[in-house]
Chains A and B, each alone.
Chain A
Amino acid sequence: AQSVTQLGSHVSVSEGALVLLRCNYSSSVPPYLFWYVQYPNQGLQLLLKYTTGATLVKGINGFEAEFKKSETSFHLTKPSAHMSDAAEYFCAVMGSGGYQKVTFGTGTKLQVIP
């Protein structure tokens, strides 16, 4: 079974400041990890994903995440927040073997203060 925990349901940052959204996972098999973004009244959009290989993953809109197996973490970062980054972010995990469903976290709402 897999699960994710997102620390902080709401995060506020100033425009231009570092964005750090935390995600810890639990998985009985090597995981695939994802970050999705959801803008108001829209569906989820994939930001980035980790499957195998390089542990630092770069995604769209300047976001990146690092898979740290020893810490069971997959935190999402962006060096400089933009107003357009205000949205809800979901971390998700899927087991790598056979069919495994994707399990989503409860989400972190990012507010960007001008």
Chain B
Amino acid sequence: EAGVVQSPRYKIIEKKQPVAFWCNPISGHNTLYWYRQNLGQGPELLIRYENEEAVDDSQLPKDRFSAERLKGVDSTLKIQPAELGDSAVYLCASEPLTGGRGTQYFGPGTRLLVL
């Protein structure tokens, strides 16, 4: 089965520019997560979806970050405008309904560099 797909893999932008990341989870996985991983740190949750509903967005900086999962399948995370401190790896993960809570399947991530 195909894994979690993310694009682009790398993105370099100047500060104040917008940027968007795309994620396609494993087929049939209802739960989708977006994480941010800063250099030398573990992933930190930004938002969690159950199907198309954002059930935990408490960690999402809503002044500049937005996310959507319109049909409950793929998802987009957007930053507008980007700041220098947004440089990080953005990871998408999905989780099946059955098979164990907390068992997440991660994509390779999008490495963002803001200049």
Interface residues of A (CB under 8 A from B): 9, 32, 34, 36, 41-46, 49, 51, 90, 92, 94, 99, 101-102, 104-107
Contact = CB atoms under 8 A, between A and B. Distances in A.
A97 B51 CA distance: 21
B108 A107 contact: no
A102 B100 CA distance: 13
Contacts of A102: 45, 102, 104
Interface of B: 4, 40-45, 48, 55-56, 91, 93, 100-109, 111
A24 B44 CA distance: 18
Given A34-B102, A49-B103, A41 B108 contact: yes
Nearest to A90: B42
Contacts of B4: 43
B107 A105 contact: no
A101 B101 contact: no
21 contacts: A9-B40, A34-B102, A36-B106, A41-B108, A43-B93, A43-B106, A43-B107, A44-B43, A44-B104, A44-B106, A45-B106, A49-B102, A90-B42, A92-B42, A94-B102, A99-B56, A102-B102, A102-B104, A105-B42, A107-B41, A107-B42
